Structure 1
Amino acid sequence: MSEWDWGRPEELSARMDAFLIDGAICDKLEEVGDPPFDASFLRGLGLTGVEFAAWKSRHPAALASDVVPLRTADSTAAPGRVYRVDGEAYFAALDITTTLPFADGSVDWVYAEHLIEHVSLGAGIAWLAEVRRILAPGGLLRVTTPDLATYVEGYRAGEAFFARHRKRMRAAGLGPPMPARRAFMFNQMFYLYGHRWIYDLDELRHALEAAGFDPAAVRRCAFREGVRPDVADLDRVLRNDESLYVEVTAPA
């Protein structure tokens, strides 16, 4: 992606949208069934969980999903349908502001990295309620999101956290160097990337409780550490300096 002016958030949004659309390409899409998808159907495909905000998951038993649909030269994944992608993985185009096309208790785990902050608090709670519905009793939800407390502490403590984060983003090739102003570094979390609501641990616990999860079951975790190592291993290194990692188990 060519460079942009960090001070023009509308330009960044347009470039990111174009980048996502350009990246959602595959060679072959084969639709494999009709919703609502139940546990028997998903397990028949070798799928036990859903990873949101991913065109392809590193988890061998994951259904990858994203609001931006995968497409081939002559077809596009229809919303809410499950497709076999290039003969080796599975994908569904899912909008988290709508009802998920899965039966109650149909998956053992759900993973979402840096997703919930892209919708309003109300929409986030509604999505979490849908996740609770589709999780099997005792199933696991792992959510990661930018941590408001980390940014507040970084702002108050000085330059160290922001300097590390700018260096990391630049090393990843994500645009030109970020401005070194602390106010910019704080504001970009709120106003860039399409963010709508930023969480700390208490705010995320509130949203989970409002969605029907037991707040006492909410656990703060470390990067790539959790009750299911196979799910925790989906955490990406790029975001671990700024992220809040939270797990909760569905009611039995």
Structure 2
Amino acid sequence: MGLSQVLTAAGQTRWLDVGCGAEFSPGFDYLDILPVGTLSDELQGRYHRADIANLTERDVEQLGIYDLVRMQHTFEHFGFEDGLRVLQNCAAILNPGGVILISVPDLVTHVQALLNGYEGLPWFKEWAHNRIPDDAPPSAYFSVFTHSLAYEPHLWCYDYDGLAYQLERTKQFTAITKLERTDLLAEVPFTHNRPDEDLCVYARRIQAPTG
């Protein structure tokens, strides 16, 4: 079973998509900083306008507690220090045993692409032409990856070790695992929404101490 089915079977059905942008996946509540007025009445009922890096106590109370917090190509838009605070805030709205699921563009994939002239990521090369000419050298494509577009820059780059390190620093997560595309829990697009580029990492909120 994929991750969504495993969570549903376990009765863990309260899911929050952080940094959803304008993509509203079924089954989720949503958190972003888009103007709420641009959403339908139905979506406004499930949409929370807040900055995950700067959640207030009131934000946490209004959000409640979730079984899954998902960030798909969101975490890389925070710098290193803010990224730690984002994860701490995610822990604050997760049930003990709840899941955090983070997908980011994989630094290792892009380093390998740089060394291979970006021939292995043709779709990325096409997308990068929003900023650079068709005949730009591979280093220019790598620079687009590391900085992204001017209006939504990538502020940090992660491989598995770096993302696991950030999760470990919170002291709030356990079972930190790289979710490969071939893993039984992997689903497109639930876990990997850009399969050729994704690094997808899964972890569980630590259980509260007993006794």
TM-score, shorter chain, exceeding 0.5: yes
1:251 is the counterpart of 2:206: yes
CA offsets 1:35-92 (integer angstroms, 9 cap, x no match):
xxxxxxxxxxxx71210122452232x11121222215xxxx9xxxxxxx42365111
| 3-state SS of paired residue (1:246) | strand
The equivalent residue for 1:59 is 26
Question: 4+ runs of 1 displaced by more than 6 Å?
Answer: none
CA distance in 2, matches of 1:96, 1:222: 26
Deviation per CA, 1:74-126: give whole Å up to 9, x if none: xxx9xxxxxxx423651111212202522497110001111111111110111
What corresponds to 2:8 in structure 1? none
1:192 aligns with 2:159: no
**Would the alpha carbon gap of residues 223 and 58 (structure 1) be closer, same or farther in structure 2, given more than 3 Å must change?**
farther
Distance 1:226 1:143 in 2: 17
Greater relative contact order (Cα 8 A, min sep 6): structure 1 or 2?
2
Question: Which amino acid in the other structure matches residue 93 of structure 2?
Answer: I
Deviation, 1:178, is 5.6
Q: 1:154 aligns with which of 113, 116, 127?
A: 113
Q: TM-score, normalised by structure 2?
A: 0.75
Distance 1:236 1:191, change over 3 A: same
Amino acid at match of 2:49: A
1:68 aligns with 34
In the other structure, the counterpart of 2:66 is: 107
Q: Does the CA-based 8 Å contact 2:101-2:191 persist in structure 1? A: no
Moved more, 135-144 or 178-187: 178-187
Q: Call closer, same or farther: CA 1:248–1:147 in 2, change over 3 Å.
A: same
Matched residue of 1:144: which SS? Answer: strand
1:126 aligned partner: 85
Q: Does the 8 Å contact 2:192/2:198 carry over to 1?
A: no
1:123 to 1:158, Cα distance in 2 relative to 1, 3 A:
same
What residue is the counterpart of 1:240 in the other structure? 195
Q: Matches of residues 127-146 of structure 1 in structure 2 within 5 Å? A: 127-146=86-105
| 1:87 has 2:87 as partner | no
Map 1:215-234 onto structure 2 (within 5 A): 217-223=175-181, 227=185, 233-234=189-190
What is the CA-CA distance between 1:214 and the residue it aligns to? 4.1
Cα distance change of structure 1 residues 125 and 56 upon mapping to structure 2, 3 Å threshold: same
User: For residues 187-211 of structure 1, what are the alpha-carbon distances to aligned partners after superposition, in whole Å with 9 as ceiling and x for unaligned?
Assistant: 1111223111111111101110112
Give the RMSD, CA atoms, in angstroms.
Answer: 2.9
**Amino acid corresponding to residue 25 of structure 2 in structure 1:** R
- CA gap 1:156/1:228 in 2 versus in 1, 3 angstroms: closer
CA distance, structure 1, for counterparts of residue 182 and residue 191 of structure 2:
6
Distance in structure 1 (CA, Å) of the matches to 2:68 and 2:184: 12
In structure 2, what is the Cα distance between the partners aligned to 1:91 and 1:204?
27
Summarize the Cα distance change of 1:67–1:149 in structure 2 as closer, same or farther, 3 Å threshold.
same
Larger Rg: 1
Query: Could you say if the C-alpha distance between residues 189 and 228 of structure 1 is closer, same or farther in structure 2, counting changes exceeding 3 Å?
Result: closer
| Unpaired stretches in structure 2, ≥5 consecutive residues | 1-12
Percent identity of paired positions between Structure 1 and Structure 2: 22
Change (3 A) 1:138 1:236: closer
Contact 1:224–1:233 (Cα < 8 Å) also in 2:
no
Deviation at 1:234, TM superposition (A): 2.6
Distance 1:102 1:178, change over 3 A: farther
How many pairs align?
Answer: 186
Q: Would you say the 8 A contact 2:103–2:192 is kept in 1?
A: no
